[in-house]
């Protein structure tokens, strides 16, 4: 995924979050995008990245917490086994996107 593709997807997810119409699978996708922003912090300098960060922080994470059974994990992450997902923490690659044109 490129930075531009990521930001386009961030805009779509922000619209869905604002409308309150995210299915659980789509909300996990939004969480993966949020993990990506936490890993590539420069994405927050773009309005789409910043809006996604704020929407997830203020609303998306709350929705996720209601959907799944979470526990505190390594690096102050939140982890769930069903489905297997880690929110925040040390940013394992399987729970975030890798951007081809953004350095690690």
**103 falls within a domain:** no
Buried b (16+ CB within 10 A) or exposed e, 63-96: bbeeebebeeeeeebbbbeeeebbbbbebeeebb
Provide the percentage of residues in the chain whose pLDDT is more than 70.
100
**76 falls within a domain:** yes
pLDDT band of residue 90 (cuts 50, 70, 90) is: confident
**101 falls within a domain:** no
Residue where the block lists tokens 């996708």: 29
**104 falls within a domain:** no
Largest CA distance in the chain: 35
Total tally of structural domains belonging to the chain? 1
**74 falls within a domain:** yes
Tokens representing residue 37 in the block: 């922003």
**20 falls within a domain:** yes
d(CA 80, CA 40): 23
Contact 28, 70 (CB under 8 A): no
23 CB neighbour count, 10 Å cutoff: 9
pLDDT at 76: 85
**12 falls within a domain:** yes
Checking if the pLDDT of 64 tops 90, the result is yes
Tell me the average pLDDT across 2-31: 94
Give the pTM.
Answer: 0.92
Domain assignment of residue 62, given as a range: 3-95
């Amino acid at each position: 995924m490129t930075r531009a593709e990521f930001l386009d997807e961030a805009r779509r997810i922000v619209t869905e979050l604002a409308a309150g119409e995210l299915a659980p699978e789509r909300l996990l996708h939004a969480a993966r995008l949020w993990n990506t922003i936490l890993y590539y912090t420069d994405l927050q300098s773009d309005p789409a990245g910043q809006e996604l960060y704020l929407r997830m922080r203020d609303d998306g994470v709350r929705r996720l917490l209601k959907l799944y059974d979470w526990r505190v994990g390594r690096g102050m992450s939140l982890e769930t086994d069903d489905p297997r997902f880690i929110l925040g923490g040390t940013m394992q690659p399987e729970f975030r996107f890798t951007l081809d044109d953004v350095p690690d």
